[in-house]
Amino acid sequence: MADDPNPDPGWYYNTKTNQVEHGNRSRSVDLLGPYPDRATAERALDIARERTAAADKADKDWNSDD
């Protein structure tokens, strides 16, 4: 992680380290976010699962409307 002179104010979840990051952060490819606060960033994997389930349901509903 490099020192960033203009750190992003958001909170991120690092999928490689399973840690929440704020301010200076790791490579973007390893991050989920930004989230508004630490608690939400800590739920990043749950949020991703919920969003994926909702998108899968929307696809299923769309395809079954034939």
Q: Where exactly are the structural domains of the chain?
A: 8-64
- pLDDT value of position 62: 92
- pLDDT value of position 25: 86
What backbone phi and psi angles, to 5 degrees, belong to 42? Answer: -65, -25
Instruction: Read off the pLDDT band of 37 (50, 70, 90).
Output: very high
C-beta of residue 7 within 8 angstroms of C-beta of residue 23: yes
pTM score: 0.76
Query: Above 80 in pLDDT, residue 48?
Result: yes
Q: Cα(12)–Cα(19) distance, rounded to whole angstroms?
A: 8
Rg (CA), the chain: 15
Residues contacting residue 18 through CB under 8 Å, at least 6 positions apart:
none
C-beta of residue 10 within 8 angstroms of C-beta of residue 20: no
Instruction: Read off the pLDDT band of 56 (50, 70, 90).
Output: very high
